[in-house]
Amino acid sequence: MIKGDDTRRRLLHTAAGLFQRQGYHGTGLNQILDASQAPKGSLYHHFPGGKEQVAVEAVTRSAAALSARIGDALGDGTDPLTGLTRIADLLGGRLLASGYLDGCPVAAVAQDAASGSDPIRSACGQAYAGWLDVLDTALRRLGVPAEECGPLGIVVLSAIEGALLLSRVQHDVGPLHAVTAHLAATITAASTT
Amino acid sequence: MIKGDDTRRRLLHTAAGLFQRQGYHGTGLNQILDASQAPKGSLYHHFPGGKEQVAVEAVTRSAAALSARIGDALGDGTDPLTGLTRIADLLGGRLLASGYLDGCPVAAVAQDAASGSDPIRSACGQAYAGWLDVLDTALRRLGVPAEECGPLGIVVLSAIEGALLLSRVQHDVGPLHAVTAHLAATITAASTT
Amino acid sequence: MIKGDDTRRRLLHTAAGLFQRQGYHGTGLNQILDASQAPKGSLYHHFPGGKEQVAVEAVTRSAAALSARIGDALGDGTDPLTGLTRIADLLGGRLLASGYLDGCPVAAVAQDAASGSDPIRSACGQAYAGWLDVLDTALRRLGVPAEECGPLGIVVLSAIEGALLLSRVQHDVGPLHAVTAHLAATITAASTT
Amino acid sequence: MIKGDDTRRRLLHTAAGLFQRQGYHGTGLNQILDASQAPKGSLYHHFPGGKEQVAVEAVTRSAAALSARIGDALGDGTDPLTGLTRIADLLGGRLLASGYLDGCPVAAVAQDAASGSDPIRSACGQAYAGWLDVLDTALRRLGVPAEECGPLGIVVLSAIEGALLLSRVQHDVGPLHAVTAHLAATITAASTT
DNA sequence: ACGTCCGGGACGGCCCGTTAGT
DNA sequence: ACTAACGGGCCGTCCCGGACGT
């Protein structure tokens, strides 16, 4: 059935958006259903695991999508500054466009689920692991010594996550830009090329 | 009344802990009441503004407490490495002691309230602003040029916030230590002394 | 669904009875639920509008039922005295049988909602309008001049409503009978036949 | 204490107004307190019997006040039409001035308390009895035969009470005027003078 | 399989009317 | 005379299954 898969996809997409903004506990199943224009029973057909399963899949999907965007931004032939600027523009653009509502697609759920549901926490952990992986290869390609790529990737991801939170809460993209500028300089300095 | 103020304080302290772990929407008023061993009506008496007011005050109080600890850690006569190590030990210690439950005392609520309650979001914003202020003076004292203190403080705070999230979600204090080590080096490099 | 509609009907019937006796604010949703032996979720399912919707439908239903009874009592081939006596017996019987608890099925809610919920007030208004309509046709049939039917119907309804209140409060059906006797005489005098 | 008595009086006056509009269960103690600008504990100081006592006294006081007004309206040297018109103007004026909020000062509480608190119901009963008494003497003075005064008074009071309800609910003073006109004619016809 | 109805309790946060303490 | 504190109840909504119809 085309319809069925479409409903499932729509459900997931809507859920991802709502979770990103409101977190896990702040988002109701009914809200997801309403926003998806999906009938009540459909959700449990497609997601027998209930709300938790929806969250896990939504996080995974969002993370994969963003992972691809990050990979593109840091792709072949880009210097650190350009790459990070692209990322900052992407994330900052979403933040601004949504009125400081859309931050990291994973963080809100991660904070909610860190205590609580282990499957969700694990999914968030894998999301971050995936991004770290993308960053690792990118840094390597930029000429950062192999043994520094891991920690530096962690620094990059952490700083961006933190900056997103700060920017979101303070309604000001300043922190995001300050951080990306700093990170670009750091990476440039670390690259031996 | 000693009793009265004590109840209020206990309520706030319990609430702060629960909000830190479970976020705003994940924490029920009844849960706070139970954990505080306080009767239901007391809460409404001390906090006519309801849950929102409790959250605002809990966040503000937690932030002030941590602010003092940060100030101590970066106090007179400490080099960047020592200071940041102390902070990392403090935060990482709490994280470990709680089984990766206690992260940043503000972040979980901030994510929940960024969309939603503006008073809470604002309180979180002020919490971060306060920490930035502490960092600013500390960096200044460490010999960082005045015009770099602001952005660098933002980088420090962002990175630590992000690292706390990563560590919490991945059940591994590695990110926290990686980030603090990097920040110490960065600050040392930036200080002209 | 037989089951579903039955629950809905039972809920409404119970609610109508309780509202009649205790008014809108005096009747709790839980009380309706208990008396109906229905779980809370059912009510929310059948009446998404909550208590207000329940009240509106309960009033409407009660009013329609009583409207039919009034129509019967004043039906073809009855003189005013007989008809009003039937109505008095019906209402007075209910009053006595319930120990002066069941008065007008609408009045208690109407008093509660006159200030407050406009939908409920409007439903009560339509209930009265419906009864006035029934009275109008009945009076017309009894030979009352057309231009007097409207005002006279209002007098009849008002007097009965007031008498029900007096009887209910004073635990004495005297007022009800006094009023019906007077009204019968008045109608007889007004009829040109 | 002048202050004390004044607080008590203010409390009662405010409560009477709120009960009249919202009924017994629809009116909260806090609302009364707020509107009276009285501190919480004062209420229980002046009314140890709690909400019920407040209601009883408020009803009694309102009833006495209105009783006096009715007596005036039907006082010496007035024909039935003039007297009832005055009453209709008084009650209808209040109704209009309040946007159809202020009906009979007793009826809303009476409906709420008819089932429920017996002291309140009894107070309402006495209020009606008092008005009937006033009507009885007035009718007697107007030349209505003694044995008809009782029933006719009941009819008058009932009809006015019912008309107030109808007018209030339908947001139209028509019923009140229709009823008073009819009653005036009835009384005139019944008077032997 | 797919979707829907209906039902099921359990809490959600808020506010109630009330009583101790002083 | 009044502040502080008390529980219990309010209505609403939560996330979730069985039963039914397509």
Place of tokens 């994280």: B95
By the 8 A CB rule, do B166 and B158 touch?
A: no
Which nucleotide's C1' atom has the smallest distance to the CA of C49? F12
By the 8 A CB rule, do A64 and A123 touch?
A: no
How many Cβ atoms are within 10 Å of A76's Cβ, its own excluded?
6
Of C25, C150, C186, the CB nearest to D23: C25
Asked if the model's pLDDT at residue C4 lies above 90, the reply is no
Q: What is the DSSP string of C167-190?
A: HHHHT-SHHHHHHHHHHHHHHHHH
Residue whose C-alpha is closest to residue B128's, from B167, B98, B160: B160
Residue whose C-alpha is closest to residue D57's, from D115, D98, D130, D8: D8
B31 CB less than 7 Å from any atom of strand E: yes
Asked if the model's pLDDT at residue B39 lies above 50, the reply is yes
For position D41, what pLDDT does the model report?
86
Mean pLDDT of C129-156: 95
Task: State what percent of residues in chain D have pLDDT above 90.
Answer: 85
Task: State what percent of residues in chain B have pLDDT above 70.
Answer: 97
Asked if the model's pLDDT at residue C3 lies above 70, the reply is no
Cα D169 to the center of its chain, rounded Å: 17
Query: From residues 78-117 of A, which are strand E contacts by CB within 7 A?
Result: none
Residue stretches of chain A with pLDDT short of 70:
1-4, 193
Place of tokens 């006519």: B48
What are the tokens at B92?
């990482």
Return all residues near D57 (Cβ < 8 A) that are at least 6 apart. Answer: D12, D47
Chain C contact present for D161, CB below 8 A: yes
Asked if the model's pLDDT at residue C31 lies above 70, the reply is yes
Task: State what percent of residues in chain C have pLDDT above 90.
Answer: 89
Restricting to C residues 38-97, those with a Cβ less than 8 Å away from any Cβ of D are none
Positions on chain E within 7 A of a protein C-beta: 1-21
Restricting to A residues 2-31, those with a Cβ less than 8 Å away from any Cβ of B are 21-26
For position A1, what pLDDT does the model report?
42
Asked if the model's pLDDT at residue B105 lies above 90, the reply is yes
Which nucleotide's C1' atom has the smallest distance to the CA of C43? E7
Chain B contact present for A99, CB below 8 A: no
Most confident of the ranges A135-144, B4-13, B120-129: B120-129
By the 8 A CB rule, do B63 and B130 touch?
A: yes
Asked if the model's pLDDT at residue B78 lies above 90, the reply is no
What are the tokens at D48?
């140890």
Task: State what percent of residues in chain C have pLDDT above 70.
Answer: 97
Chains C and D share 3 or more Cβ pairs within 8 Å: yes
Which nucleotide's C1' atom has the smallest distance to the CA of C45? E6
Helices and strands in chain B: count of H runs, count of E runs: 9, 0
From first to last of the 193 residues of chain D, give the pLDDT tens digit. Answer: 455 678 899 999 999 999 999 999 999 999 999 999 999 889 999 999 999 999 999 999 999 999 999 999 988 778 888 999 999 999 999 999 999 999 999 999 999 999 999 999 999 999 999 999 999 999 999 999 999 999 999 999 999 999 999 999 999 999 999 999 999 999 999 988 6
How many Cβ atoms are within 10 Å of C150's Cβ, its own excluded?
16
- Identify the weakest region by mean pLDDT among A144-153, B4-13, B126-135, D179-188: B4-13
- Alpha helical stretches, state H, D40-173: 40-46, 51-73, 80-97, 107-114, 118-141, 146-170
How many Cβ atoms are within 10 Å of C3's Cβ, its own excluded?
7
Asked if the model's pLDDT at residue C175 lies above 80, the reply is yes
The model's pLDDT over B140-186, given as tens digits with 9 standing for 90+, comes to 999 999 999 999 999 999 999 999 999 999 999 999 999 999 999 99
What are the tokens at B58?
């809990």
